[in-house]
Chains A and B, each alone.
Chain A
Amino acid sequence: MRLKLDNLSVVYPASDGRPPVAALSEINLVIEDAEFVVALGASGCGKSTLLNLIAGFLSPTSGQLTLDGRPVSGPGADRAVVFQKHALLPWLNVLDNVAFGLQIQGVAKAERYATANRLVGLLGLDGFQKSPVYKLSGGMQQRVGIARALTCDPKLLLMDEPLGALDALTREKAQELILNIWHETHKSVFFITHSVEEALFMGTKLIVMSPRPGRITHSFDLPFSRQFLGGMPARAVKASPEFIKLREDVLKIIFADEEAAA
């Protein structure tokens, strides 16, 4: 799998007398197989626009977006999306929510339940198959969302601030869970977050974006998730001097952007 963004620009047309807005300007980015790319930036920098582009919900004003050499022209099962919230179907129980993608694709009941059950287990939701999703905690709902995205065996997992609504403790656990699953399934991931620490901890590659126009200003290769998967405790990774140094550097970039805007 290889996703390539070539000189992508998105301009929202003028409306209500306001001038057109350049949401994204000349984005160049490649997501390779099994890469974990994290996008970070001040609000309004076009992170979500970028994710919507890759998901196929939005078409670029100019430039090219290709997946394995073929242009992306709409949403498809090769790219699954995990949303921040409110994307589960409350009338279905946990198992049916996880199996939803397979149901859409017309997979027979027994087969889709077998796959869904495996993922329910992988996400640590065993015993909750029959529970209504609206009775689960936010953290568990988000795990259902991740399991659902994984059922159709996508090449690329798109995550739009999936942990943004979770409390700090649950969030750290969910970070570790996502890393473990990423390691086990060898998916490529494009992950959006507001948290610098989360971005550094999880990604193999970090892109920092700036607003007006939305563009990629910095790109870092990150070693920290591999250290964690190599057996180092998460807190130790996050407390290491290299981690703290990079965290401060990235924060400086983002604060500079915020101040420039103010």
Chain B
Amino acid sequence: MTDKPTSGPASRVGAGESRLGRLARARPTKPGEIYGVPGQGSTLWLSAVSILLFLFVWWLVTAMGWVKPLFVPSPMTIVTKLISVWNVGFTGTPFLVHVEISTVRVFSAFLLACVVGIPLGLAMGMSPLMRGLFDPPIEFYRPIPPLAYLPLMIIWFGIGETSKILLIFLSVFAPVVLGARSGVKSASIEQIHAAYSFGATRWQVLRHVIMPSALPEILTAMRIGIGFGWTTLVAAEMVAATQGIGYMVLSASQFLQTPVVIMGIFVIAIIAFAFDLLMRFIERRLVPWKGRM
């Protein structure tokens, strides 16, 4: 028996256990929050701490000499390397040209995938004929790693730009088609009936109800798709490329220039992240109603 003020169901356990018990229990929320919502709360500060911690550990292991620079160069080496590659280029090509070439490859493949994939996905959602015809080939190639069919691309389309862009295109295409296709299901049957009861044609229902309500899913699919695009970039630049960030990373690795490898990885990450921020901004502007009705 204790005279200490206690609270809640954990009060019967001893002092040592009660601290653990307190962690396991959900606490009452602050005003403005809802009790029991999983994962509630802002993570901005923790994210900043996580990044700083990562940089610190990286700096520590290199500065203390725990890992050889060949395996993990110091953060400063990466920055110096970026400056030198920026100034003198890499294998005779200016740094920004590498960036530009890769960006053009990824984005032209991405645009092409959207232009073909979104209408095809909508058509597959709308028509059993289209779904029946196109579902098997897309589902067949979708789970195959691009590296596996890269040799085929080269045999069929040569070692020029076509096979590179096509490889990236294929990796973006499947998620975009699937997103647009499942987006067709977003419109409620009441919304569709409402349009028909005003005398709408099937085309008008597609244009005025189904396409706008599919937009959130299409935008999400585009974000996922471009991610796949960047993933495939390095594979696409493995063969017979002389320019591009993927090429830069690969050829640097062959000469054990680890700083260039890491620097290239960061460049890809930064471009991809910047584009994702842009897409999130577009999403907020275009579909502020997402999930609210």
Contacts and interface: CB of A to CB of B under 8 A. Distances in A.
Contacts of B213: 89, 91
Given A77-B199, A85-B190, A87-B193, 11 more contacts: A56-B197, A88-B191, A89-B209, A89-B213, A91-B289, A100-B198, A104-B195, A104-B208, A105-B199, A132-B289, A134-B289
Contacts of A83: 190, 193-194
B197 A77 contact: yes
29 contacts: A56-B197, A75-B193, A75-B196, A75-B197, A77-B199, A79-B197, A83-B193, A84-B190, A87-B191, A87-B193, A88-B191, A89-B191, A89-B208, A89-B213, A90-B289, A90-B292, A91-B212, A91-B213, A91-B215, A91-B287, A100-B194, A100-B198, A103-B208, A104-B199, A104-B200, A132-B288, A134-B292, A134-B293, A152-B198
B193 A57 contact: yes
Given A104-B200, A133-B293, A87 B194 contact: yes
Interface residues of B, number: 22
Interface string B206-229: 001100110100000000000000
A76 B288 CA distance: 32
Nearest to B201: A104
A87 B199 contact: no
Contacts of A134: 289, 292-293
B204 interface: yes
Interface string A77-114: 10111011111111100000000110111000000000
Contacts of A91: 212-213, 215, 287, 289
Interface of A: 55-57, 75-77, 79-81, 83-91, 100-101, 103-105, 132-134, 148, 152
B293 A80 contact: no
A212 to B, nearest CB: 25
Interface of B: 188, 190-191, 193-200, 204, 208-209, 212-213, 215, 287-289, 292-293
B190 A77 contact: no
B209 A80 contact: no
B84 to A, nearest CB: 50
A87 B208 contact: no
Nearest to A97: B194
| Chain A, interface SS category | loop
Nearest to B198: A101
B123 to A, nearest CB: 21
Nearest to B195: A104
A53 to B, nearest CB: 13
Nearest to A81: B197
A87 B200 CA distance: 15
A75 B192 CA distance: 11
Contact of A87 (B190, B204, B287, B289): B190
A133 B212 CA distance: 15
| Chain B, interface SS category | helix
Nearest to A80: B197
Contact of A86 (B188, B198, B289): B188
B199 A75 contact: yes
Given A77-B198, A104-B208, A86 B193 contact: no
B188 to A, nearest CB: 5
B191 A86 contact: yes
A87 B62 CA distance: 61
Contacts of A57: 193, 196
A86 B213 CA distance: 12
Contacts of A84: 190
A146 to B, nearest CB: 12
B197 to A, nearest CB: 5
A118 to B, nearest CB: 18
Nearest to A57: B193
Contacts of A132: 288-289
A66 to B, nearest CB: 18
A87 B287 CA distance: 17
A86 B293 contact: yes
Contacts of A75: 193, 196-197, 199
Contacts of A85: 190
Contact of B197 (A76, A90, A133): A76
Contacts of A55: 193, 197
Residue among B197, B199, B212, B289 with max Cβ neighbours from chain A (10 Å): B197
Given A77-B199, A89-B209, A104 B204 contact: yes
The 6 lowest CB-CB distance pairs between A and B, nearest first, are A90-B289, A87-B190, A101-B198, A90-B293, A83-B190, A104-B198
A105 B200 CA distance: 7
